[in-house]
Amino acid sequence: MQWLKASDRCPLCKVTVSRVLHEIKSPKDYEIYTHVSVKKRGGGGAEGSLPSPPAAGGTAAETSGRVGGGDEGARASGGAAVVDGRTGPEFRSLVYRRGLAAEPPAEKARRPKPLDQLRSWIARDVQAAAPGTRGGGGMDTRLVEDIVRALLKDNDVDTQDGYCTVKEQGFLFENTAPFLHELWCFRWSKARMPAYDRRAVYRPRPTQR
């Protein structure tokens, strides 16, 4: 806490800190300190600061420890990420295969996108994050899309309880928490995504170990 008064970056790993989990008693019983950037603190205080994605315990990769890195553009969850002409689930799969993550939008939308504006994003990222695809001997991604939309309709993922309820369903296995992080960032960003053509079935490459 003392260090964050002077710098927004972790002194060990150099990650920009947005939240600190402390008083941890169990995976679901802890306190969350939302850090206001040193740069923002001088003028208007916390006014207009970005709401943090609700944490749900687990590993650092499932909470605030995930940060963007590596391929430029793979970090961005807003719109259809484009690098060297590559778009769609094949390129977006890099986010999940390499453990990357979008940073919360610097300038957030006034209110999160409604569910009907998330259909294209959900269709693309479910296919990118799923371990296999329909017709390729893996998951039926259209069924997963329906599950995701139903869960988002019934649960407010901007709250701790709602986030935990959705995450615990494990619809994308180990990629469930990263998927929810990317979804949260896109919902609160000002980016828009064009209609996604799911007819091009994407079969992800086998994970190298």
Where do runs of H (alpha helix) occur along 73-154? Answer: 88-97, 119-129, 141-154
Position 202 in a domain: no
Tell me how many degrees the CA angle 200-202-113 measures, rounded to the nearest 5.
80
Is pLDDT larger for residue 155 or for residue 88?
Answer: 155
pLDDT of residue 203: 53
Is pLDDT larger for residue 166 or for residue 139?
Answer: 166
CB neighbourhood size of 28 (10 A)? 14
Could you tell me if 93 and 44 lie in one domain?
A: no
Query: In the predicted model, is pLDDT for residue 136 greater than 60?
Result: no
Number of domains into which the chain is organized: 2
Tell me how far CA of residue 121 lies from CA of 112, 148, 174, in angstroms.
14, 11, 19
Say whether pTM exceeds 0.85.
Answer: no
Selection from 123, 128, 120, 102 nearest residue 184 by Cα: 102
The two three-digit tokens of residue 196, written as one number: 């996604």
Could you tell me if 115 and 176 lie in one domain?
A: yes
**What average pLDDT score do residues 9-35 get?**
79
| Residues 40-78: tens digit of each pLDDT | 555 433 333 444 555 444 333 333 333 433 333 334 444
Position 14 in a domain: yes
Position 208 in a domain: no
Residue 63 and residue 57 in contact, taking contact as beta carbons nearer than 8 Å: yes
Residue 142: which domain range? 88-188
Is pLDDT larger for residue 190 or for residue 207?
Answer: 190
Position 160 in a domain: yes
Position 139 in a domain: yes
The two three-digit tokens of residue 105, written as one number: 């939008």
pLDDT of residue 43: 41
Mean pLDDT rounded to a whole number for the chain: 73
pLDDT of residue 44: 38
pLDDT of residue 58: 37
Query: In the predicted model, is pLDDT for residue 183 greater than 90?
Result: yes
Residue 104 and residue 187 in contact, taking contact as beta carbons nearer than 8 Å: no
CB neighbourhood size of 132 (10 A)? 14
pLDDT of residue 114: 93
Query: In the predicted model, is pLDDT for residue 134 greater than 70?
Result: no
pLDDT of residue 2: 80
Position 81 in a domain: no
C-alpha to C-alpha distance for 172 and 97, rounded to whole angstroms: 13
Tell me how many degrees the CA angle 30-11-102 measures, rounded to the nearest 5.
65
Could you tell me if 43 and 128 lie in one domain?
A: no
Selection from 73, 99, 81, 88 nearest residue 15 by Cα: 99
